[in-house]
Structure 1
């Protein structure tokens, strides 16, 4: 299987928020260097914050290779072994971006929740299946790519992927 890269879907509200905060951080960081006396530490921290926000906003993508789903969200990365995935579900909720027992690496309310585990008793905090929320631009194409990498997953009537029942 060749490598497939999927860009992230970014909602306009998230774009506005990230761009605005990045510009504000850059601007305030530059101003800190010209204050009397200059505040170099504060200016540097604000410039780094702006760079972090911009890298998340413009550097989020997802990659499927032979063995893994690789998620890059600016400087943050996450890897999910394909063989450990047991469910991929379409989601459409702003609340999933703000809370819940999952890693949130999505920039859109329309995303995919990937649930996985390496053995039956693996749970986060003993309660929750490990899961990650992502938001590829074309969710159906991403699901097809996972299906081709994992033929033992099957489509449900609502378009999600689940492990076939034995």
Structure 2
């Protein structure tokens, strides 16, 4: 591709994003990245490191190019399932090592499925045995302090099963 075409594409993108607010720009750029097979790290989905899925699974991280497609495939029924699917998107599909609860709820709100108390949903996932989610750290001393989480392998398997239609909420 010539440099002129690249500059033209950048100019078009810039013009399209100029009239949007910050949140809308993020959603558009996230959509574009996933649409063209890139993760937030800039790697193609096929190059991105992440938990490997069982070879028997027909669902692969790159199969769902948007969070909406993954959410529709998993069909979560409860708030904790919704939070777990959003965590799966960030960790497996977007190759994030960890995430904060606000990131999960932002994804869900954009689909119209926001959770009233995301911390309670995440605490339920943490308290399951085996744990479906781990809290890695807490920044600050208040109850509203920012917490960083990671989906466990068991949590990832549970979402894989939801996508396959093999599991119901326990």
Higher percent of residues as helix:
2
Give TM-score, length-normalised by structure 2. 0.27
- Name the structure where strand makes up a greater proportion of residues: 1
TM-score by length of 1: 0.27
